[in-house]
Structure 1
Amino acid sequence: MKVSMRGISKAFGPVKVLEAVDFTVQGGEVHALMGENGAGKSTLMKILSGVHQADAGEVLLNDRPVTIRSTTEAEAHGIAIIHQELNLIPQLSVMENLFLGREREHSRFGVINRAGMRREASQILQQLGAGRINPETEAGQLSIGQQQMVEIAKAMSLNAKVLIMDEPTAALTEREIEALFVFMEQLKQRGVAIVYVSHRMEEIFRVCDKISVLRDGCFVGERQIAATDFDEVVRLMVGREIGDRFPKRACAPGAVRLEVERLADDGRIRDIGFDVRAGEVLGVAGLMGAGRSEILNVLFGVKPRRQGRVRLDGAELDIRRPGDAIAAGIAYVTEDRKSQGLVLGMSVRENATLVHLRRHARLGVVSRRSENEEARRLIEQLRIRTRDAELDVKSLSGGNQQKVVFAKWLAEPPKLLLLDEPTRGVDVGGKAEIYHIINQLAAAGVAIVMVSSELPEVMAMSDRILVIHEGRRAGLFEAASATQEDIMAAAAGATAD
C-alpha cells in the first residue's frame, strides 16, 4: 500500500505543531521519520492513525483520498501504530491487552475463546523473540521493556498493511531489537509499509530505506539512506552542528566512592559486587530482565536489600527508603520519567525544586522568590527550553522533560548519581546536551552508575562496563578496550566473570 500525506497542518490552540507537511511511504519500504523532540513527528503519525484530525491537508491511500476520524477507521484501512507512550491496561493480562475490543470468540454462543487467544498471543510473542512473556501475566507486572514488546505484538496482531513504529526500541535490549529487526524484514518482504520513528541513528541507517526530516513542524527534506550520512541528517534535524556525538572527558577518576559487596534483593539480583570511583562513569549492560534496574532500585531504597553491604566514601549505609538515599547524597534519574521522575501536573519550577524544597523554606513556609531563583539558575545551566518556569512540565518535549529530571537532583550536587536509561526517547541534540551534563558532573567528582540499553552509548560514555546476566555479575570491562562482542557474549551468559 502507498500512503501519501499532503499539506498537513495542525495546531493545538495558538501553537502550530505542523505546517503544510508532505510525507509519502510505499509498501515494502521502511521509511524513517526524524526530527528533534517537538518537531511534530508523533503528531503527524497520530493524524495518520486517527488519534488526531488535521486542520488542513489530505491523506491518500493508493492515491485515493480517505478520511480517518478514529483509530478504528485507521485499523479498517489497515493502519496500525505502536505508540511511544505505553498504552496498556495494567490490570489486564498480556493476551487481553493484545485483543482488547477484538476478542476471539467460539463459533457458537459468543463465548470468548481464551485458549485460542492464548495460542495466538504466544505465536506473535514468539515471532518477536519475546516468547518468555506469559500471555496470562498481568501487563502491570511486566518491566517497561516487556510492556513495549507487548505494544509491538498488539500492533502485529492487526495484520496491518501500514505499520507506524514510534520509538519501538526505546526500552528494548540488543537481543529484543535484533528479533524485532528480523520480523520487520519479514513484514517488508510481505509488502507492508513501515514508518519508523526513532532517535537512534544506528538503527535508522541499518533498517531504513529512506528518511524524511521535520524541523519545527515543517518538512525540511527527504533522502535515500544510501545517499546520506549521520552529519547531514543531524544538520537537517537541528539546523546546526552539534560537535562530537559522544563528548570526551579529560579528567581521570579519583578514589573509590561507592563499594558494593554481595548485593541481593528478594529475587532478581544475587551476590553482585562492584565499586565506582569519584569522577567515574560505570556503565551497566545486560539483556532485558537481567536485573540492571533492580540494582539501582536497591541502592536507592526503592526495593529492599536482602543481603550485602553498601559503603559510600567509606561509611556503611543502611538505606531502607529513598529518603535515606537522598540524605546520604544519592540521586536517581529513573527509567520512566513520566510516571516516576516527574509530577506532570506541576510546573517546571515545582519539579526542578521538589527534591530540595527545604532549601527554600523558612519556618515551614516556602519562599517563592528563592524557589524562582533556583529554578531560573537550573533552567539556564541545563539549557532547558521552556517559555518560562511556570509552564506545566508535561508541555515540554521529551528531551527537555529529561533535563528537568536532572535539574531536580542538581540543586545540591550528589555524591552518587544513578542513571537508568538517561537518554531514552531523547533526540540527538538533546542527547548531546545530556552527555555534556554527565561529563560535567563526573568532572566535579560525582560517581555515576549508568544503565543503558544502547551499547554505543554505554561504550562511549563509560570508563568501565559492568555486565549483568540473570541477576549476577557476568563481566567487568575497561570501556577503552571492550568490544560489543565481548559485552554481548557476557550478557548472554557465554562467559563467566
Structure 2
Amino acid sequence: MQAAPVPQATTGAPVLGLQNIRKEFGGVVAIEDFSLDVHAGEVVALVGDNGAGKSTLIKIICGVYPPTAGRILIDGSETRFSDPADSQARGIQVVFQDLALAERQPVYMNLFLGREAVTGPFRRLDRRRMIRESEELVRGMDVRIPSAKSTIRDLSGGQRQGVAIARATHWASKLVLMDEPTAALGVAETQKVEKIIGGLRERNLAVLIISHSLDQVFRLSDRICVLRRGVQIGIRRTHETTNNEIVSMITGLT
C-alpha cells in the first residue's frame, strides 16, 4: 500500500462546509448531524458500508436533495441549492455511480450537455467547436476513445467512465464529487482515473470521493470520513490512521 500524500496546510474558508446536516425521508433518518469541511487542493474520502448514507450525502451537496436541517456553505457563505443546476453554477460537478450519460448521443454532446456551444444569429449548435474542444479535453486527460463523434453506447465501461470524469473535471471550478468512480473498471483503467484525481488536487480543486476500496482511499486521500448507518463516526488524517482502524470504525467492531 502506498502512503497517502501529506496534506498541505489549509488557509481561508473551506470550499465546502457542511454543518449539522440531517436528512429524513418520511420517518426514516438517512443522515444524522453530519459536519465536514473540504478545502481547495484536498481529497477527502467518504467511506462506509452499503446503506451508510454516502450517496445521499453526495446528492445533498449537489442539489438533488435538500437537507432536512443543517447548513451548506460554499467558500464560507451559506448556500441553498434548489436543484443541481444551482450547484453546477457554483462550480460543483459530480460523477454519479451510474455516470448519467446520454447513451445515444456522441461523446462531444455529452461533454457539453446543458452547456452546448452555439454560433450565429440563429444560435445553431457549434458542433465543430464542441468536437474540437472535446478531442483536446479527452486527449489531455488520456481518455482513449475512437473519436469525439463516437456514440456513448459504443464505448467500453472504462471509456464511458473516462468521459463522465472528463465532463465533471472540465466544468468544475471548486469541487468534484465522485461516487465510486472506479467500481466497474479494470486495473489499468483504475490507475488512469486515480491519476486524474491527483491532477484535480494539482489544479487546487477540492475532491470528495466515495470508494469501497480502502487501498484506493489510502493512496488518494488526505482525510477519511466514516459513516455508519447515517451517523458520522469520525474523521481521520490518512497518514495518521491505519486500515484496521478505518475498518473498525466502519463495522463498529473493536
If the length of structure 1 is used for normalisation, what is the TM-score?
0.47
Query: What is the CA–CA distance in structure 1 between the aligned matches of 2:65 and 2:183, rounded to whole Å?
Result: 23
Deviations 1:69-91 (A, max 9, x none): 11110011111110012311221
* Distance in 1 of aligned mates of 2:72 and 2:201: 22
Q: CA–CA distance in 2 between the matches of 1:21 and 1:133? A: 43
| Cα deviation digits, residues 51-86 of structure 1 (max 9, x gap) | 111110010112211111111100111111100123
1:232 is matched with 245
In the TM superposition, structure 1's runs of 4+ consecutive aligned residues that sit over 4 Å from their partners are: none
Contact 2:158 2:189 in 1 (8 A): no
Aligned Cα root-mean-square deviation (Å)? 1.5
Mapped partners of 2:242, 2:38: distance in 1: 20
Task: Say whether residues 1:43 and 2:56 are aligned partners.
Answer: yes
**Mean CA deviation greater in 80-89 or 49-58:** 80-89
* Aligned partners of 2:169 and 2:200 also within 8 Å: no
Name the counterpart of 1:208. Answer: 221
Q: Which of 121, 132, 136 is 2:134 aligned to?
A: 121
Other-structure match for 1:104: 117
Other structure's SS at 1:180 match: helix
Deviation for aligned residue 1:182: 2.5
Matched residue type, 2:214: M
Query: Normalized against structure 2, the TM-score is what?
Result: 0.90
Contact map agreement 1:9 1:57 (CA 8 A) in 2: yes
Question: Match for 1:95: what amino acid?
Answer: Y
Q: Check if 1:26 corresponds to 2:33.
A: no
> Pick from 70, 80, 83: which aligns with 1:67?
80
2:170 maps to 1:152:
no
Contact persistence 2:162–2:193 (CA under 8 A): no
What is residue 189 of structure 2 aligned with on the other side? 176
The answer on 1:195 being equivalent to 2:223 is: no
Aligned-partner Cα distance in 2 for 1:89–1:60: 31
Q: Which amino acid aligns with 1:37?
A: N
Q: State the Cα distance separating 1:171 from its structure 2 match.
A: 1.9
2:104 corresponds, among 91, 94, 104, to 91
Q: Distance in 2 between matches of 1:176 and 1:134?
A: 18
2:160 and 2:191 mapped to 1: Cα distance? 17
Q: How far does residue 133 in structure 1 lie from its aligned partner after superposition? A: 4.0
1:204 is paired with a residue of what secondary structure? Answer: helix
Aligned partners of 1:219 and 1:133: how far apart in 2?
Answer: 43
C-alpha distance in structure 1 between counterparts of 2:137 and 2:252, whole Å: 41
> CA contact under 8 A between 1:122 and 1:131: conserved in structure 2?
no
CA contact (8 A) 1:125 1:133 kept: no
Q: Which has the larger radius of gyration?
A: 1
- Provide closer, same or farther for how the CA distance between residues 152 and 215 of structure 1 changes in structure 2, counting only shifts above 3 A: same
**1:382-412 CA-partner distances (Å, limit 9, x unpaired):** xxxxxxxxxxxxxxxxxxxxxxxxxxxxxxx
Unaligned runs of 5+ in 2: 1-13
- The residue type paired with residue 7 of structure 1 is N
How far did residue 211 of structure 1 move? Answer: 0.5
- Matching of residue 55 in structure 1 with residue 106 in structure 2: no
- Identity fraction in percent: 35
Offset at residue 108 of structure 1 (A): 4.7
* Equivalent residue pairs, number: 241
- Deviation string 1:403-457 (CA, Å, 9 cap, x unpaired) is xxxxxxxxxxxxxxxxxxxxxxxxxxxxxxxxxxxxxxxxxxxxxxxxxxxxxxx
Aligned residue runs from structure 1 range 455-474, under 5 A: none
